[in-house]
Amino acid sequence: MMNQNHRVLLLAAIIFNMAAPGFCATAEFYKDRAFAKEAKKDFDGAIADYTKAIKLAPKDPDAYTFRGIAKNHKGDIEGAIADYTSAIEIANHPYDERWIALAYSSRGAAKQEKGDLDGAIADYTEAIPHHAKDDAHRDLFLAGDYTSRGIAKQNKGDFDGAIADYTKALTFRPNDPAASKQLSAAKLAKPIALKIAAAGCCFTTADDYFNAGFVKAAEKNFSEAIADYTKALELKPNDPVAYSARGNAKRDNGDFDGAIADYTKTLELRPNNPATYSARGSAKRDKGDFDGAIADYTKALELKPNDPATSEQLHAATYAKLAKPIDTNYFSSFRLTDRKPVAYRAYSGPALPPQHKAILTLNHVLVSNVDGQRLPLCYSGDITCTPIGPIELLPGEHSITFSFGNDPKNTLAPATISGAPPIQRSLTVEAGKVYSAQRHWQNAGDCTVSRGSTSSTVSCQIVWSVDITEK
């Protein structure tokens, strides 16, 4: 804990020590700084720091892996593959299982982006047994490996292999949205692909182009799918299904404005379709237009009341508008159908491994604000609940607001807590460490008892505090 003056003095001391002849930066220092630069999308600076870390610790596999990820972000696919390969060659003992798996899966993704589908499939296959040994994240990682390998197989035209992998992914995470979506698309695309192959090279009708676009979209070749859907619309200009399909492909390709335009045209041709309103709402949400998303989801629910998927999306957009979360991966990291407390990443950028972030666990206390940013809500259906799961923080000093209130899931205490003011604390955390916030209270005066016919109410004046300890 430190006040602002202490922080300034400490910062000055750090700067002085770094400038002094005796200062010796470690590999961990450079990796931590590289992560901070990468979070700010300074990939050149991150690569430079990872390179310095590697010079100091040439047998550190995760430094190679994360330098590869930074190179991948810059578009240096070959350089990324070389770094992933170095990490795999170095990591050769049980402690490094997670890094071996990450290197294989990352190299698989890079090869897939390059078009080397056989190489991608081989790397995803290698990642699977290593991820199977990660007790903490086994199901999540294995679902990802099987889904990614399925996409690579589907891109090769191996629909049966892809369907088998998507099905396997769902055994680890039954409600995984990516695996579910890919499985449905593959089952629909397989007969269409066979029909196209049998028809030969040349398409002549709008249906031919539409079917070709559908298969390419299922294979995540979104640019080619958009081109085929556009050809279909040239031959059949007022087809709402083709506009909707092209909107889906544009949204998946990151063209949110184009998707919104296509969904709007779909609604002109086929008014009052709840699925199209919901799809347009998702495109607006992805663009950051939460008011527009909320309006479209609300309209979809008017047309199709109590639709669970649209209700979840409406909640998510409402929370995002209220919370303005720091986490740029908010929608992908929160499982909206899982009503358990989830970890909240209180920083932007990619997920970090344990040794590069701090964890704050909460024990009978809530957190409503981190560094001036309101946190999103922890349950998909409980509007009054703020995060009670662990909070992931970057190393350094943070301003955290702890609050108390009656939690609808009764996770705080069986007693009703009212009138307790929030407590703001300054907390300095170190990378790789876990901290625990614990609620404490004591009576500030005598308690009063109100007796009823069937029960009694005890009211006490309480002084609340929060103790933070390092685990």
- Would you say residue 356 has pLDDT above 80? no
Q: In angstroms, rounded to a whole number, what is the distance separating the alpha carbons of residues 108 and 103?
A: 8
Classify residue 469 as exposed, middle or buried by CB count within 10 Å of its CB (0-12, 13-18, 19+).
Answer: exposed
Tokens of 153: 């197989």
Query: Beta strand 434-443 with 396-403: parallel, antiparallel or unpaired?
Result: unpaired
Residues 4-62 have pLDDT tens digits of 333 333 333 333 334 334 445 688 888 888 887 887 778 999 999 999 999 998 988 88
Where are any strands of DSSP class E within 364-431? 366-370, 373-374, 391-393, 396-403, 423-429
Of 196 and 264, the one with more pLDDT? 264
- Would you say residue 411 has pLDDT above 50? no
- Would you say residue 97 has pLDDT above 70? yes
Residue 409: how many CB atoms within 10 A of its CB? 13
Q: For residues 336 and 312, is the Cβ–Cβ distance under 8 A?
A: yes
Q: Helix, strand, or coil here: 322?
A: helix
Q: For residues 27 and 53, is the Cβ–Cβ distance under 8 A?
A: yes
Q: In angstroms, rounded to a whole number, what is the distance separating the alpha carbons of residues 178 and 391?
A: 25
**Rounded mean pLDDT, 213-241:** 89
Return phi, psi of residue 441, to 5°. -150, 160
- Would you say residue 379 has pLDDT above 90? no
Average model confidence (pLDDT) for the chain?
Answer: 76
Q: In angstroms, rounded to a whole number, what is the distance separating the alpha carbons of residues 323 and 330?
A: 11
Of 182 and 145, the one with more pLDDT? 145
Task: Give me the residue spans of the domains in the chain.
Answer: 344-470
Report the candidate in 265, 273, 277 with the shortest Cα–Cα distance to residue 317: 277
Tokens of 203: 């398409």
- Would you say residue 339 has pLDDT above 60? no
Identify which of 213-217, 258-262, 438-442 has the greatest average pLDDT. 258-262
Kindly report whether the global pTM for this prediction surpasses the value 0.95.
no
Tokens of 39: 């979070």
Q: How confident is the model at residue 444 (pLDDT cuts 50, 70, 90)?
A: low
Beta bridge partners of 429: 396
**Rounded mean pLDDT, 201-213:** 79
Distances (CA, A) of 320 to 113, 403, 453: 31, 20, 45
